[in-house]
């Protein structure tokens, strides 16, 4: 089970990650020119959202249907994917965060990621 504190720790461990509010939600972003949001956490903390490609989304949803599901709106059609935090473990969370971070971070800072 992933707690909000564990999610924050994992997200903020990625290079240049910062937490900023996004309406009532927490968002984790890459603090770089053209850096984007790579994870959001709603106030109820039941799930978090990451931003994958549609192919990555299909892969994780098929591999772990009890953990991952598409966001049920237009964002979900573009790859936005929810993670049930109570069903997730630390390694699965990190993998999803890294995939999402790679899309949010400018290519020139990808080398800062240590796996």
Supply the DSSP string of the chain, one letter for each residue. ---HHHHHHHHHTSTTEEEEEETTEEEEEE-STT--EEEEE-TT-SEEEEE--HHHHHHHHHH-TTTEEE-SSHHHHTTEEEEEGGG--HHHHHHHHHHHHHHHS-GGGGGG---
Residue 6 falls inside a structural domain: no
Q: What pLDDT is attached to residue 25?
A: 92
Write down the pLDDT at residue 115: 59
Q: How many domains is the chain partitioned into structurally?
A: 1
What is the C-alpha separation between 53 and 96, in angstroms, rounded? Answer: 11
Residue 113 has what pLDDT?
A: 80
Domain that holds residue 67: 13-107
Q: How would you classify the pairing of strands 25-30 and 47-51?
A: unpaired
Residue 92 falls inside a structural domain = yes
65 part of a folded domain: yes
According to the model, what pLDDT value does residue 30 have?
Answer: 95
The pLDDT of residue 45: 84
Please report, for the domain that includes residue 35, its CATH number.
3.90.1150.30
* 41 close to 48: Cβ distance less than 8 angstroms: yes
Residues of the chain with pLDDT under 70: 115
pLDDT of the residue at 22? 85
Q: Which pLDDT belongs to residue 73?
A: 93
């Amino acid at each position: 089970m992933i707690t909000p504190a564990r999610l924050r720790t994992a997200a903020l461990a990625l290079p240049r990650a910062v937490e900023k509010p996004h309406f009532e939600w927490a968002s984790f972003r890459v603090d770089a020119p053209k850096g984007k949001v790579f994870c959001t956490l709603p106030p109820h903390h039941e799930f978090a959202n990451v931003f994958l490609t549609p192919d990555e989304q299909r892969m994780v949803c098929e591999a772990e249907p009890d953990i991952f599901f598409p966001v049920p709106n237009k964002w979900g059609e573009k790859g936005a994917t929810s993670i049930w935090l109570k069903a997730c473990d630390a390694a699965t969370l990190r993998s999803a965060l890294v995939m999402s971070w790679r899309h949010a971070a400018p290519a020139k800072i990808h080398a800062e990621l240590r796996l």
